[in-house]
Amino acid sequence: MKFGWLFLVTVLLTTVSGPIASHAQQAVEPVSAPVAVNAPGSEVTIKGRDLFAFQTCPAQSFTPSDKPIPGSKVQVELDPSTLWQPRGGDIRFIVRNWPWAVNQTSFTVCFRWRYLDGYNERFRTAPLPVRIISNKPTADGEIVAAATVPSMPTAPQRFWGLTQDLDDAINPNILPHYGNFTAFNGVPLAEVLIRIGNGDGQFADTILEIGVTSRAAAAVICALLVGAMLFLLWLCSPPKIGPFGGASFILRIIADRRGRASLSQLQILVWSLVIGGGAIYVITLTGTLIDIKSGTLIMLGISGSANISAELRNRSVAAAAALAAASVPEQAPAAEVPAAEVPAAEVNAPAVASVPVTLGVPHFSDVVTNPGSPEIDVTKVQMLFFTMITALFVAIKIVTSYTIPDIPEGFLLLMGISNGVYVSRKFI
């Protein structure tokens, strides 16, 4: 059973690995001009900059432009972190050696599926105007811009080589038209036409390649891998709590050495699931690792410090109890005395013996209560509440923007104080 789960995890990780590295940079070929740059209603303003946005994409094929850009050395390449994007996600591209100012530059970004046989379907325009990320007005004229992936139609069929030869699959006269995929036929590829024009009606085109991923597929893969990880932790949990039915699924994972559900271990588990699950989700969608910000690292450090401090306190209490039990002197065996001569008080006196410590079964109430007390510890409630709010905020940002957000310094200070009060409460 264990080896089967490990094999499943290995196969899924292999499927989502290996982002696109080819076609990230291609030569620019000037082609025919589309609609006029100064067409009515084509001028928009974004972040204080005047840009020109084309409303339509070109036809399926191109012809050389009658007005090429003289001496054009324009280079356009994709940002390596956006080689894979889902529908509605943003790709970033870098334009180099562009001599014109941004307010004299027009952008058109169009998308279509790439096919093995070279079939040309019509392009689809990006649903939003191109956004300028940065602009360096130097001799090289570097511009970093972003465009949104449109709602592409259903991806083409995959070619598995089961019912048709490859020669037939790449023949445009034989149906169906098979799509071009990467990552073990898991991610369909799309062509991205980036058209750049200047104020003189001169244009240059670049066709690049991206992978169009699926949020639903990424969520399923993330859930499967996180579930497999939790199941392995459950199998590896120590048997001190009893058989598989001795405690619930989560309690077997967060139980400490005394058999109680630990708040600090729950905190570490929550952050591990959020960061680990977020990394799997982002890798599946973008083909790149997620960028962990310094605020998140500080938060993980606070959680780990609270867990270590709590464990040190528990061990010190256990060591003190063991030392006190060892310091009790052993009494020599008493001489045999007739029962009639033994006082009644000595007969009924309890014998001094070491009582073994029994491990309890963990309960969810252990997270907010102290050992031997049914009262709720408000310091634990505070730390649990702030941890869940922060983890939920980070998880939402990962799902919507594929990045871990910066956690404000004030909130980090609040979490530090909350964990500090929780740890100090254990030493009182």
What global pTM score does this model have? 0.69
User: Does the pLDDT at position 61 exceed 90?
Assistant: no
Better-predicted residue by pLDDT, 291 or 139: 291
Structure token pair of residue 68: 């090429």
Contact 276, 229 (CB under 8 A): yes
Grade residue 285 by pLDDT with cuts at 50, 70 and 90.
Answer: very high
Alpha-carbon gap, residue 109 to 42, rounded angstroms: 14
Ranges for all domains in the chain classified under CATH 2.60.40.10: 19-212
- pLDDT for 147 equals 95
- Residue of 262, 257, 155 lying closest to 214 (CA atoms): 155
The topology (CATH level 3) of 19-212 is Immunoglobulin-like (2.60.40)
Alpha-carbon gap, residue 228 to 6, rounded angstroms: 8
User: Does the pLDDT at position 114 exceed 90?
Assistant: yes
Q: In this predicted model, what pLDDT tens digit does every residue of 379-414 receive, in sequence order? A: 888 888 988 998 999 999 999 888 888 888 888 888
Alpha-carbon gap, residue 123 to 109, rounded angstroms: 9
- pLDDT for 71 equals 54
Cα dihedral across residues 7, 8, 11, 14: positive or negative: negative
Alpha-carbon gap, residue 152 to 13, rounded angstroms: 26
Contact 257, 264 (CB under 8 A): no
Alpha-carbon gap, residue 78 to 144, rounded angstroms: 10
On average, the pLDDT of the chain sits at: 74
Better-predicted residue by pLDDT, 166 or 349: 166
Q: Average of pLDDT values for 279-299?
A: 86
User: Does the pLDDT at position 9 exceed 50?
Assistant: no
- Residue of 229, 225, 243, 206 lying closest to 93 (CA atoms): 206
Please give the full DSSP string across 159-206, using - where no structure is assigned.
Answer: --SSSS-HHHHT-TTSSS-BBPEETTTTEEEEEEEEEEEETTS-EEEE
Q: In this predicted model, what pLDDT tens digit does every residue of 200-234 receive, in sequence order? A: 777 788 899 999 999 999 999 999 999 999 888 87
Grade residue 338 by pLDDT with cuts at 50, 70 and 90.
Answer: low
User: Does the pLDDT at position 8 exceed 80?
Assistant: no
Cβ neighbours, 10 Å, residue 183: 20
Percentage of the chain with pLDDT > 90?
22
b/e per residue 1-18 (b: at least 16 CB within 10 A): eeeeeeeeeeebeebbee
Cα 405 to Cα 6, 9, 83, 363, distances in angstroms? 32, 28, 21, 33
- Residue of 281, 216, 229 lying closest to 9 (CA atoms): 229
Better-predicted residue by pLDDT, 246 or 155: 155
Q: In this predicted model, what pLDDT tens digit does every residue of 175-198 receive, in sequence order? A: 788 999 999 899 999 999 998 888
| Lowest mean pLDDT, pick from 156-165, 245-254, 318-327 | 318-327
